[in-house]
Chains A and B, each alone.
Chain A
Amino acid sequence: MVVFGASGDLSARKLMPALARLAARGELSDAFALVGVARTPLSDDEFRSFCRQAAVDHAGGRRFDKEGWDEATERFHYVAGSYDSDETFTRLAVVLDELDERWGTMGNRLHYLAIPPSLFPTVVAALGRHGLNRPSPGHYGAFVRIVIEKPFGHDMRSADQLDDLVHRDFDESQVYRIDHYLGKESVQNVLALRFANTIFEPIWNRRYVDAVEITVAEDGGVGHRGSFYEQTGALRDIVQNHVMQILALTLMEPPATMDPDAIRDEKVKALSCVDVSTIGRVPKVVRAQYTEGWVGGERVPGYREEPEVSPTSMTETFVALGLRVDNWRWADVPVLIRTGKRLPQRLTEVIIHFQPAPHVPFGPGQTRELTPNALVVRVQPDDGITLLFGAKVPGRGFDVRTVSMEFLYGRIFANGVEDAYERLLFDALIGDPTLFIRSDEVMQSWRILAPIQQAWAADDVPLAFYPAGSWQPEEAERLLGSRRRWSER
């Protein structure tokens, strides 16, 4: 495995802890070796120390085998150098050949781009120039894969250009576009929930579903990522990838098999049904920015007062969308999407709101605390599923109240929930692309967002504001009309 940007934040926070856990599970083969590539000058030993400490610092309360990890990092090496220097890649090639000899890695390569997107073209082209995009001579059965982190372009055109660039040197079958949301058990469980049970799929359609609501809420602000966020915004940072993936899994038709392309084909078909004719217009889209407020008992500054953020910034920290999906299953079912920073709590969930009962024989006074059925798939925190339904309140009257039945991953499978990166790294190593995003999925998501980007560029959609610690601006409430409200609890 070659990690570009090996001394960086992503490597320290995500990759090394995930590799440490894989090592602890015995899932890193003895023939696994890692080469870190970055500009920071480090010796092999210094890099190994960095990796060991990163796994400790970012263990997140999970246990791992420190001795096993120390042993695994003995097979870690480091190449310091600039990405635009051919000399860096020449040395990398030499080190990789040595590792084949020393550790028996047999020419297999997994290139992981943990670097800013601006460096993708430089590194991908260099890999091609130095023949590191194909199995080296003598290793014809070996695999060479490349893992690319989001963002996959910043619009449809740039995503297309990135694809062209990558495809010059790598076949699509070699490309693993990573969105860590797909590595989360509860996201994958959408497939199990829908397609392994007989009770949900028959009602998973316009006849029974009143609305689909997706929320990706963060309580944090932009922190030290102000300059990055200024160039990105919530639409590109969250909607284009995380939200679109959750949306596709929620709306897709049943795949014939769990074959990677069978699933990805259905996801693409679902995304291709999203109507974009009115999506860029008010009131189908709301963009907003947080102002100062209170979150978790602390006063927090407004977005424009954050470090490295322009005081006149128009970058959105919140997006709400009302989508329409034009197919038999979902026609006329509103798909409501909301994501933002500095919302009251960190939360990602999909709520399937079912139609209200056609006739309720109880009096209005008896059903004050009864809401229509809903199925909540919670991705974080506390991954799980909650079914909301009405039940009689014990007593002589006949009051009916909404109650919940809950499944929590962490309780049922107390030791079995992997970290998302752990799962995805393992899949990339064994060559299972099911949980990675195919090129046409990326293009479909940009197709959906293109009219919004155009409208925002033309300033057709005003920027709204919401106080930090609130769930949404008033404009987002109006997007739902008078009959619906965003779920706040």
Chain B
Amino acid sequence: MRTHVVGSWSAVDTPVSGVEQAIWRLRQRHDRGAVRTAVASLVVLVGEDRAEAANLIDVVREVAARNPIRAVIVLTSPDDAPGIGAQVTVMAAEGDGGSRVFCEDVLLHVRGPATRHLQSVVGPCNLRGVPLITWIPTRLWHRDEELVAAADRILVDTTGRDPVSTFSVALEMNHRRPVTDLSWVRLEPWRRVLGRLLSGPAFASFAGGVRRIEFEGEPGHRSLLTGWLTNRLDADPDAVRLVDGDQPTLRIWAEHDGRRMTVTVDSPIGSAQVHGVARLDGRGPPRTAVRPNLTPGAILEGALNRPARDAQWEDAAAAALRLTVPG
């Protein structure tokens, strides 16, 4: 698919209705008229982080051709003079066979007191009749905030966050509407590597004999993976040790019938891969597995394509919470 910009429009100050009118006009610019093909609305609240907003627009455009969405990225400046700025871009992705999808991204810059009433600004910009997915990447949301209450699905990213508050809020929220954790998607290569290393009778027999699991890495991320592992390996939570560190590394020590197995999985900073090694005492060569790390676009795409509740994540998140709040 070749993606190109059909048109763009921006205003420093605009009524909210100006956004929809701009999208309408931009669509008309396409030689055959750009139809709405978006299948969902994605609202991303980045707060005051302009760099994050710019980064997210790139990410959204990366996935747009395969996941046509209307993305509304909301930048806030509560201390600025009141007003709403907007930047709208309509994109077309066209395949060789003539297939076309159209999508648009909207960067809203909400200033002044309206930043405390964002739903009144964002609501009219969302598409009607399609799922609304809301994501607040820069902070932990409040249970009752309007943007979250209006959503059909919530995206969270538990990586790097305090696991106690994050997982408890995410799990509670998940009872009301599905929550998709980008950290869970990001960990998919890790889970696949572990699945590859521990499959087959020679290695799987150690599953019940885990003596120790140690994960050095960011909070949230490490809790979620080890939470999942303790479930899958039926491991004692007391055997888990989580260590702060920039370079994520997982180590597992297990015993079975007097033999020992060690597993190491890591992804050095800057590496595009997750690399895993499993060794059995004195028994042949080590088993290795490698999976590529996911790009930010692939992580978002993976999250968008998980429409339903994910029971495995729920179990992993609950286990992660138990690991950090014993008893």
Which A residues contact B (CB, under 8 angstroms)?
A: 219, 293-299, 344-347, 365-369, 374, 376, 378, 381-382, 386, 388, 393-395, 399, 401-404, 406, 408, 410-411, 414, 469, 488-489
Question: CB distance B120 to A402 under 8 Å?
Answer: no
Q: What are 30 A-B residue pairs whose CB atoms fall within 8 Å in the complex?
A: A219-B17, A296-B15, A296-B16, A297-B114, A344-B123, A344-B124, A346-B17, A347-B128, A365-B308, A367-B308, A368-B178, A368-B308, A369-B307, A376-B129, A381-B17, A393-B307, A394-B305, A399-B308, A401-B39, A401-B307, A402-B130, A402-B131, A404-B130, A408-B35, A410-B24, A411-B28, A411-B33, A469-B119, A488-B150, A489-B123
Which of A295, A367, A489 is close to B126, meaning CB atoms less than 8 Å apart? Answer: A489
Residues in B whose Cβ lies below 8 Å from that of A366: 308
Does B50 touch A at the CB level, under 8 Å? no
Give the nearest-CB partner of B120 in chain A. Answer: A294
Does B309 touch A at the CB level, under 8 Å? yes
Question: CB distance B33 to A368 under 8 Å?
Answer: no
Q: How many contacts between A and B, using CB within 8 angstroms?
A: 102
Question: CA–CA, A469 to B217, complex, Å?
Answer: 44
Which of A299, A404, A469 is close to B113, meaning CB atoms less than 8 Å apart? Answer: A299
In chain B, positions 64-115 with a C-beta closer than 8 Å to chain A are: 82, 84, 110, 113-114
Does B20 touch A at the CB level, under 8 Å? yes
Chain A min CB distance to B279 (Å): 32
Does B277 touch A at the CB level, under 8 Å? no
Does B61 touch A at the CB level, under 8 Å? no
Residues in B whose Cβ lies below 8 Å from that of A296: 15-17, 120-121, 124
Question: CB distance B28 to A414 under 8 Å?
Answer: yes
With A294-B114, A408-B35 known as contacts, the answer to whether A369 contacts B129 (CB < 8 A) is no
In chain B, positions 297-324 with a C-beta closer than 8 Å to chain A are: 305, 307-309, 311
Does B222 touch A at the CB level, under 8 Å? no
Question: CA–CA, A89 to B61, complex, Å?
Answer: 66
Chain A min CB distance to B37 (Å): 9
Which of B35, B131, B307 is close to A406, meaning CB atoms less than 8 Å apart? Answer: B35
Give the nearest-CB partner of B25 in chain A. Answer: A61
Which of A394, A408, A489 is close to B129, meaning CB atoms less than 8 Å apart? Answer: A489
Give the nearest-CB partner of A386 in chain B. Answer: B129
Give the nearest-CB partner of B39 in chain A. Answer: A403
In chain B, positions 1-36 with a C-beta closer than 8 Å to chain A are: 15-17, 20, 24, 27-28, 33, 35-36
Does B153 touch A at the CB level, under 8 Å? yes
Which of A393, A394, A408 is close to B36, meaning CB atoms less than 8 Å apart? Answer: A408
The 3 closest A-B pairs by CB, nearest first: A294-B117, A297-B114, A294-B120
Does B152 touch A at the CB level, under 8 Å? yes
Residues in B whose Cβ lies below 8 Å from that of A365: 308-309, 311
Give the nearest-CB partner of B311 in chain A. Answer: A365
Question: CA–CA, A378 to B35, complex, Å?
Answer: 16
Dominant SS among interface residues on chain A: mixed
Give the nearest-CB partner of B23 in chain A. Answer: A382
Question: CA–CA, A289 to B309, complex, Å?
Answer: 39
Give the nearest-CB partner of A411 in chain B. Answer: B33
* Interface footprint category on B: 35 or more
Chain B min CB distance to A298 (Å): 7
Question: CB distance A297 to B305 under 8 Å?
Answer: no
Chain A min CB distance to B3 (Å): 18
Which B residues contact A (CB, under 8 angstroms)?
A: 15-17, 20, 24, 27-28, 33, 35-36, 39, 41, 82, 84, 110, 113-114, 117, 119-121, 123-124, 126-132, 150, 152-153, 178, 305, 307-309, 311
Residues in B whose Cβ lies below 8 Å from that of A395: 305
Question: CB distance A345 to B124 under 8 Å?
Answer: yes
Question: CB distance A469 to B120 under 8 Å?
Answer: yes
Chain B min CB distance to A243 (Å): 19
Which of B114, B117, B123 is close to A345, meaning CB atoms less than 8 Å apart? Answer: B123
Known pairs A369-B152, A404-B39, A489-B128; list 6 more (Cβ under 8 Å).
A296-B17, A296-B120, A298-B82, A365-B309, A404-B130, A406-B36
Question: CA–CA, A46 to B20, complex, Å?
Answer: 38
Residues in A whose Cβ lies below 8 Å from that of B131: 369, 401-402
Which of A295, A298, A399, A489 is close to B132, meaning CB atoms less than 8 Å apart? Answer: A489
Question: CB distance B33 to A369 under 8 Å?
Answer: no
Give the nearest-CB partner of A382 in chain B. Answer: B24
With A345-B124, A366-B308 known as contacts, the answer to whether A297 contacts B84 (CB < 8 A) is yes
Chain A min CB distance to B27 (Å): 7
Question: CB distance B121 to A381 under 8 Å?
Answer: no
Question: CA–CA, A408 to B35, complex, Å?
Answer: 8
Question: CA–CA, A408 to B178, complex, Å?
Answer: 31
Give the nearest-CB partner of A369 in chain B. Answer: B307
Give the nearest-CB partner of A489 in chain B. Answer: B128
Chain B min CB distance to A485 (Å): 12
Give the nearest-CB partner of A406 in chain B. Answer: B36
Residues in B whose Cβ lies below 8 Å from that of A406: 35-36
Question: CA–CA, A181 to B27, complex, Å?
Answer: 26
Chain B min CB distance to A380 (Å): 11
Residues in B whose Cβ lies below 8 Å from that of A469: 117, 119-120
Residues in A whose Cβ lies below 8 Å from that of B17: 219, 296, 345-346, 381
Chain B min CB distance to A21 (Å): 19
Question: CA–CA, A396 to B311, complex, Å?
Answer: 17
Give the nearest-CB partner of B152 in chain A. Answer: A369
Question: CA–CA, A266 to B16, complex, Å?
Answer: 40
Residues in A whose Cβ lies below 8 Å from that of B124: 219, 296, 344-345
Question: CA–CA, A369 to B82, complex, Å?
Answer: 37
Chain B min CB distance to A370 (Å): 9
Question: CA–CA, A411 to B33, complex, Å?
Answer: 6
Question: CA–CA, A488 to B150, complex, Å?
Answer: 9
Residues in B whose Cβ lies below 8 Å from that of A298: 82, 114, 120
Question: CA–CA, A16 to B40, complex, Å?
Answer: 41
Residues in A whose Cβ lies below 8 Å from that of B110: 297
Question: CA–CA, A404 to B35, complex, Å?
Answer: 12
Which of A376, A401, A403, A414 is close to B128, meaning CB atoms less than 8 Å apart? Answer: A376
Chain B min CB distance to A169 (Å): 44
Chain B min CB distance to A49 (Å): 30
